[in-house]
Structure 1
Amino acid sequence: MLAALTGLGLSTAAGLNAYIPLLVVGVLANVTDAVRLPDGYAWLSNWGVLAVLAVLLVAEMVLDKVPAVDSVNDAIQTVVRPASGGVVFSATSAAAELENSTWMTERPWVGWLLGVVLALAVHAVKSAARPVINAGTAGVGAPVVSTVEDAGSFGMSLIAVFLPVLVIVALLLLAVAAWWLLRRVRRFRAHRRARKRATGNHHPPG
C-alpha cells in the first residue's frame, strides 16, 4: 500500500513539474537509503543525468512564469510530464519489494500506466486553468501560481517518499482545488462566450 501511495504522490508532483520529482528521487537514491531504485532505473541516480535534469528544471521554472509563454510550455510538457509520472511511479517499485509484495514488481507496466494517467490528469487541470488565471490577473498571477505549483511539486515529492500515508490527504486537497479551478474555468469560458454573442448581436444605430 505504501509503495502505491509513494508512486501516486510522485506522479501527482510530476503533473505539476516534470523534473522536480525525478530530481528528488535521483538525489535521495544517491545520498540516502530512503529510495532504492529497482533494476533498470540506476540511470536516474547518475549525477550527469541529474545535472541535465537540473538545467531542464531551471528552464521550466523560468518559462512557466511568463504569461503566454507558459501556455506554449504547457503544450510541450503534455508529453514530458506524463512520461515523468510513469518513470517515478515505476521507479518506486523498490518500495513494493521492501514490503514483500510481488504484484507490482511482476507487473511494472501497471505502475508506469498509473503514473502516466495521474500526471496527465494533473497536467490537464494545470494547463486549462493557467490561461484563465493569466486573463483574470492580466498576467500578474502567472509567476505566483507557478511558484506555488513548484513548491507543491517539491512538497508532494518529499511527502510521497518520507510520509506516504499523508499522500491521501494531499490528493484530496488537490482534488478539491482542481474542482474549484475547473468550475472557474467553465464560468470564465461561458462568460466570454456570452460577451461575444452580445457583441455580435449589437448593431449600432444607423
Structure 2
Amino acid sequence: MELFLSLCLGLGLSASCGFRVFLPMLAANVATMNGWITPGENFEWLSTWPAFFALLTATIAEIGGYYIPFIDNLLDTIATPAAVVAGTLLTTSFVHIDSPVLHWGLGLIVGGGTAGLVQAGTGFLRLLSSKTTAGLGNPVVSTAENVASFGLSGIAIFLPVIALVLVVFLMFWLLKKLFSLKKS
C-alpha cells in the first residue's frame, strides 16, 4: 500500500510540474520540512532550508516570467525538458524501491512522462492563445496554470489517491485533444 500511495504522490507532483516546474518542488520541500511527507533515501536534501530558498526564488522567477509577453513562450521551450527532469526527480524522490534501475526507470517513465505530456499540452495551449489573442490571453492561461500547479500539488500531498484520479482524467483529456487536433 505504501508503494501505491508513493506512486500516487509522485504522479500528482509530476503532473503539477507540467504546469509549473518549480512550484511542485517547492510544495514538496515545504511538506517534507513539516513532516507531512517523507522523501526516500538520498533525497533528504529536499527538506533543507537551502533547497527552500533556491526553490522559492526559482518559483517566483518562473511565475513572474510567464506574465511577460514573448518570455512566456520562450519559457515553455525551456520548461518542457525541465518539467521532465523535475517530474522524474519528484517521482523518484518519494517512491521507495530497492532496485536502482527500476527506481529511476519508473521515475522517468511515470514521472517524467506525465510531466512532459502535461507540459506539451500547456505549451500548445499557450501557443494557441498567442495565435488567437495576439498574446493578450496568455496571462489568463498563466494564472490558470499557476492555480492548477498549486492545487494539484496540494491534492497530491494531502490526498494522493484523488490526485491519481485527477491525473488519469487529465491524461485522457489531453490525449483526446491531441489526437483530435492531429485528425483535423
TM range (shorter): 0.7 to 0.9
Once the two structures are superposed, the pairs formed by residues 10-159 of structure 1 within 5 Å of their partners are 10-31=13-34, 33-93=35-95, 96=96, 104-106=97-99, 107-113=102-108, 114-159=110-155
Task: Provide the TM-score with structure 2 as the length reference.
Answer: 0.86
Whether the aligned pair in 2 keeps the contact of 1:129 and 1:181 (CA below 8 Å) is no
The offset of 1:28, in angstroms, is: 1.1
Take 2:65 and 2:127, find their aligned partners in 1: how far apart are those partners? Answer: 14
Take 1:142 and 1:123, find their aligned partners in 2: how far apart are those partners? Answer: 15
What SS does the corresponding residue of 1:34 show, helix, strand or coil?
coil
- What letter corresponds to residue 38 of structure 1 in structure 2? G
Take 1:181 and 1:28, find their aligned partners in 2: how far apart are those partners? Answer: 33
Shift in CA distance, 181/58, structure 1 to aligned 2, threshold 3 Å? farther
Take 1:172 and 1:86, find their aligned partners in 2: how far apart are those partners? Answer: 17
Tell me which residue corresponds to 1:199.
none
Number of residue equivalences: 178
Q: 2:10 aligns with which of 7, 24, 28?
A: 7
The offset of 1:185, in angstroms, is: 5.9
Deviations 1:37-56 (A, max 9, x none): 12211111111121111111
81-90 vs 170-179, greater mean Cα deviation: 170-179
Larger radius of gyration: 1
Shift in CA distance, 25/171, structure 1 to aligned 2, threshold 3 Å? same
Deviations 1:95-125 (A, max 9, x none): x5xxxxxxx3433213321211111111111
Take 1:71 and 1:184, find their aligned partners in 2: how far apart are those partners? Answer: 23
Deviations 1:50-108 (A, max 9, x none): 11111111111111122322111111112211111011101112xx5xxxxxxx34332
The offset of 1:175, in angstroms, is: 3.1
- What letter corresponds to residue 121 of structure 1 in structure 2? L
Shift in CA distance, 181/54, structure 1 to aligned 2, threshold 3 Å? farther
Unpaired runs of 5+ residues, structure 1, are: 97-103, 191-206
What is the percent sequence identity of the aligned residues?
30
The offset of 1:180, in angstroms, is: 6.6
Task: Provide the TM-score with structure 1 as the length reference.
Answer: 0.78
Whether the aligned pair in 1 keeps the contact of 2:31 and 2:157 (CA below 8 Å) is no
Shift in CA distance, 137/9, structure 1 to aligned 2, threshold 3 Å? same
Whether the aligned pair in 2 keeps the contact of 1:9 and 1:167 (CA below 8 Å) is yes
Unpaired runs of 5+ residues, structure 2, are: none
The offset of 1:150, in angstroms, is: 1.1
- What letter corresponds to residue 133 of structure 1 in structure 2? S
